Structure 1
């Protein structure tokens, strides 16, 4: 999936590295270490149209871009996005195709 952020094409990837990056920005932090679990939190948050979750997912999925857009750039992009509800749906749909996400999503439904 490609988004245009600040006039630059930004490719989003939703593999294992995406999950690792998402844990860095949205994982459960105990104060001593990060327990991860950001994906488990992000899936229902995206379904509830939580804009912070969408920002975290886009930022984490943009890890392979040089230069990588900053969190502020992603937030500003979302603030100005006209069809944000569709963007939620599109990002969620694309994310759910990834092997790294499928199992977690399946287990959340169980």
Structure 2
């Protein structure tokens, strides 16, 4: 999936590395021990159109972009987006079609 931030088109990837990056940003940590769960926590919030989670997901999916957009740049994009619902829907669609994530996403649906 491609997204245009500050007149620069970036590639978002939703594979295994995305899951690892999301665990770093949104995962659980207890007494300094990481337990992952970034995907488990983020997918329901994405379905509820939580903009902070959308920002975390975009940031995590942009792991391969050099230089990687900052969280502030992504937050500003979300704050100023004219059709935010479309962005949510496109990200959700890409996640649902990603080989690495689609099974987890399917099993989390009510």
Q: Normalized against structure 2, the TM-score is what?
A: 0.95
Which residues of structure 1 form unaligned runs of 5+? none
The CA RMSD measured in Å over matched residues stands at 1.1
Equivalent positions of 1:8-27 (< 5 A) are 8-27=8-27
- Number of residue pairs the alignment of both structures matches: 110
Q: Are 1:49 and 2:40 counterparts?
A: no
Between 1:29-38 and 1:51-60, the stretch displaced more is 29-38
**C-alpha deviation, 1:97, in angstroms:** 0.7
Which residues of structure 2 form unaligned runs of 5+? none
Q: Are 1:73 and 2:91 counterparts?
A: no
> Cα deviations across residues 48-107 of structure 1 (Å, max 9, x unaligned)?
000011000000000001111011111011101011011101111011111111111122
Moved over 3 A (4+): none
Alpha-carbon distance in structure 2 between the residues aligned to 1:109 and 1:2: 25
Alpha-carbon distance in structure 2 between the residues aligned to 1:94 and 1:49: 15
Instruction: Name the one with the larger strand percent.
Output: 2
> Cα deviations across residues 11-61 of structure 1 (Å, max 9, x unaligned)?
000000000000000001213122111111111111100001100000000
Q: Normalized against structure 1, the TM-score is what?
A: 0.95
Equivalent positions of 1:1-110 (< 5 A) are 1-109=1-109
